[in-house]
Amino acid sequence: MSNRVAFVSGASRGIGKACALALSQAGFRVALAARDTARLEELATQIRGVGGECFAVELDLASPDSIKNAFTRVASEFGVVEVLVNNAGITKDGLALRMKKDDWDVVLNTNLSGSFFASQQVLQGMMKGRWGRIINIVSVVAETGNAGQANYCASKAGLIGVTKALAQEMASRNITVNAVAPGFVETDMTAVLSEDVKEKILKAVPLKRMGKPEDIAAAVVFLASEGASYITGHVLDVNGGMYM
């Protein structure tokens, strides 16, 4: 059993929630962060109900102040973060020709800059303890591109670049930095897709199903484990074979 502290952004739903539950089951004490604190409290009750330890904190990745406050609170009230899962992300889709500057900025600020600033908050503590795991949730579209998602693709591809740069900077301190790239997963984000679109997606997936949040969480728990201590700067594709 680990007694290490893991911090999961975007923990109120979908992949983040599944990661928080799976890390808790693996013995981590989990800091749950998101904008939706009511949902976080529900999750916290669920985790405590089965004997897990957790701490809920409000976090808006688009705000550097919010990021700083969230990590300061977690460090002082719950413990030094040793595993960071940068999962929170948003989409504002639109064709490049008509994409508004605000829709570009908010997606880049949240998904890329927010995840980077969150990582900055934990580096010192990890360096001091000479152990750490940063796991960035990216996307298959960071590797393939996707029409109508120039901002989202750029934010997630940028996060792969950050993953590799940090992996090189931090390796000597026994801190690994990896990314998990989900394919199409059953979440609120994909629930809005039409049946036609879903059918088209499934045609492109050799395993012939959409992923489940638990599929992504399993990869995250592995990368957070001692068994993954010799893996860094890697992008782990969890996509049913849709991109190889």
Strands 81-86 and 5-9: parallel
Strands 132-137 and 81-86: parallel
Side by side, which strands form the sheet with 175-182?
54-58, 29-34, 5-9, 81-86, 132-137, 175-182, 235-238
- Return d(Cα 179, Cα 236) in angstroms, integer: 6
66 in Cβ contact with 116 (< 8 Å): no
33 in Cβ contact with 83 (< 8 Å): no
- Return d(Cα 32, Cα 43) in angstroms, integer: 8
Query: Pick the catalytic residue: 118, 152, 158, 160?
Result: 152
Amino acid at 57: V
32 in Cβ contact with 56 (< 8 Å): yes
Beta strand ranges found along the chain (DSSP E):
5-9, 29-34, 54-58, 81-86, 132-137, 175-182, 235-238
Q: Is 230 noted as a catalytic residue in this protein?
A: no
Length of the chain measured in residues:
244
Amino acid at 90: I
Beta strand ranges found along 102-197 (DSSP E):
132-137, 175-182
Annotated active-site positions, please?
152
